[in-house]
Structure 1
Amino acid sequence: MNLPTRPAPEAFREPAADNYAVGGFTWRHVRTDPTRPVVIINAATSVRCRHYAHFADYLFANGFDVITYDYRGIGESRRGSLRGFKASWSDWGVLDFEAILQRAQREFPGQPIDVVGHSFGGCAAGLGASGAAIRRIVTVGAQFAYWRDYEASGRWRMFGKWHVVMPLVTALCGYFPGKRLGWLEDTPAGVVRDWGTPTPKYETRPSGRALGELPFARVKAQVLAISITDDPFGTVVAIERLLSYFESSARTHLRIAPEDIGEKAVGHFAFFRSEYHDRLWPIALAWLQRGELALGTPGQRV
């Protein structure tokens, strides 16, 4: 499929409930249509929203309005040094994602609202107080970094990197200097504490209930969880653990092996690369359009 010339997305600033300005971009069709869905893309932990721009182009070309944004402290939502900056996973979901949910309802009144969530972005999709407004959700490798859920062969190496070295460096610097080290973006210390806490439950992380009871049950969307067999974070047990939080939603888990799409490796981050626009992206598109998997979809239901 040949994608059309990329539209010029509109930059925006949206104040969260605590008045922190969340920055992002909107792909908006010229003509309004109350039947046209708008898709919010929730990024992975410390991945900039610009990483998802080509995927946003693809959704736009297929008839959706699209919003991408960065969580506070990241990319378009960073305001200076992160040393001493306070932000947590709860802030990213309860405040930042909720602000974007409210923006979608205000900017696109009456239009269906869908969400695509990558990694922690799938967890964030369940943290907005306005979650009942979401029609459909697609998550990719979505889990919340419980170390025992990591792929067995690399578990201790990953534990050392993400749960020992990352917190130690953060303690020394006051934030995690990920960009300098080549480990994603710079990351607020509170997010690192949430990530590094060795507990299987989101609500027992340091910020898990800091801003009230978990609102996952408010979400009644059709949820498709996509996992890749060579994703060391997104094992079956990790994906199913997060899916169990969406107790009010109809849930489908699709597990795809790289060889199902003619690849040797895909991993945790590659799904949103443009090289997969004709092999992986149509799976998400079909779900967002119809709430079901198309015939011939690669992979197996879990």
Structure 2
Amino acid sequence: MHSKPESRQISALDGFSLSSTHYSAEGEAQGNLLIAGATGVPQRFYQRIALYAASQGLNVMTLDYRGIGLSRPARLKDFKMHYLDWARLDLAAAVALLAKQDLPLYVLGHSFGGHAFGLLPNHHHVSRFAVCGTGAGWHGWMPWRESLKVRMMWHLILPVLTRIKGYSPWSKLGIGEDLPQDVFYQWRAWCQYPHYFFDNPDTQDLLDCYYKVRTPSLFINATDDLWAMPASRDAFIRAYANAPIHTLDIESQGTPIGHMGYFRAQHQDLWQPIVQWLKQGSPASIGASRLQQYAPGEFNKAQLLLPNLAL
């Protein structure tokens, strides 16, 4: 039987108060798992997979980044922060807390979680890392209909609403939690580039952070994830040049997966192999899928991207 999830306030590295939820492992704990959520997705969305991982012997922590969910300030208008604070200050504090315990530490990410891992100052504490639906964010990696929709959102609809509100009202469009305006403007700027912030002149120094990652990593992308198709993932994760990498491309079987389905109940068949890989490091194919394995340095050599898109 699952123990009741426990809500706790934790402090980010700069002292900002964050809401977190803790799920105790059934039986003797075999490790700790931190779930690093997507942009604008509250921690409650990951409750089902957190309960599943707890049933498999892992203590699990979820959290809401500053400005989101239960970590949202009373007044979001003109709330000041940097998008990368979610990784460098918020997730890093959770890693530091869990690393104090004498158990292996794993991280499971979603979308932004794949960006965040390379930005952590303490990723070396993590034994294995898996992420679903991470990508470079550039509209050019998307099918043309989705690309057109995204460009209209970035350049026509949301800039007007954000200027009026003082924050980005994503909830009004039914696509997630409202975002602090700094997150919206920085995210939009980076999504103009094929390799996200690695191509931005102001943030190219971030490559050095990713080159330091040595953690075995599994990157899972559904072929019907229009926001993060496998080519988009590959364009971003080339920066994890010195980590042993597995990539897994999943073909949906009937029910679409999209960008959010990885963590929905109808796709819980994905969870067992993901948790198995985190705990044991043994990759497994999932349904109609394509698994590739690369030693450190091999992934970049294997990719055949257009020359003008090279890092």
- Summarize deviations over 1:16-55 as a string: whole Å, max 9, x none: 222111211111248765xx22111011100000000010
TM-score, scaled relative to structure 1? 0.88
Partner of 1:202: 197
1:141-179 Cα deviation digits (max 9, x unpaired): 112422222233421122212444223321221101222
1:2-17 matched pairs, under 5 angstroms: 5-17=1-13
Q: Report what 2:77 is aligned to.
A: 83
Unaligned ranges ≥5, structure 1:
none
Match of 1:28 in 2: 24
Structure 2 matches for 1:199-278, cutoff 5 A?
A: 199=193, 200-203=195-198, 208=203, 215-259=209-253, 263-277=254-268
Cα-Cα RMSD = 2.3
Contact 1:46 1:184 in 2 (8 A): yes
Tell me the distance in 1 between the aligned counterparts of 2:45 and 2:202: 26
Unmatched segments (≥5 aa) in structure 2: 293-311
CA contact (8 A) 1:194 1:205 kept: no
Shift of 1:99: 0.9
Equivalence map 1:277-288=2 (5 Å): 277=268, 279-288=269-278
Give the whole-Å Cα distance in 2 for the aligned partners of 1:257 and 1:240.
17
- Among all aligned residue pairs of Structure 1 and Structure 2, give the percentage whose two residues are the same amino acid: 27
Q: 1:147 to 1:126 in 2, by over 3 A?
A: same
Query: What is the identity, as a one-letter code, of the residue corresponding to 1:91?
Result: D
Alignment of 1:100 onto 2:94: yes
User: In the alignment, what sits opposite 1:50?
Assistant: 44
Report the more deviating stretch, 130-139 or 154-163: 154-163
Change (3 A) 1:101 1:129: same
Q: CA 1:204–1:111 in structure 2 vs 1: closer, same or farther (change >3 Å)?
A: same
Q: Deviations over 1:124-155 (max 9, x none)?
A: 12211001111111110112422222233421
Correspondence 1:64 to 2:54: no
Contact 2:36 2:107 in 1 (8 A): yes
1:94 CA drift (Å):
0.8
Q: 1 CA distance for matches of 2:207 and 2:242?
A: 15
* 2:103 aligned residue: 111
Aligned-residue offset at 1:250: 0.6
Equivalent position of 1:160 in the other structure: 152
Q: Structure 2 length as normaliser, TM-score?
A: 0.86
CA pair 148-88 structure 1, distance change in 2 beyond 3 A: farther
For 1:85, the aligned partner's letter is F
**Corresponding residue of 1:190:** 182
Q: Is the 8 A contact 1:98 1:128 kept in 2?
A: yes
CA distance in 2, matches of 1:295, 1:265: 18
Worse overlay, 239-248 or 129-138: 239-248
Q: Aligned equivalents of 1:256 and 1:96: distance in 2?
A: 30
Please state how far the C-alpha of 1:110 moved relative to its aligned partner. Answer: 2.2
Kept in 1, the 8 Å contact 2:11–2:18? The answer is: yes
Aligned pair partner of 2:283 in 293, 296, 299: 293
In structure 1, distance between residues paired with 2:22 and 2:62: 7
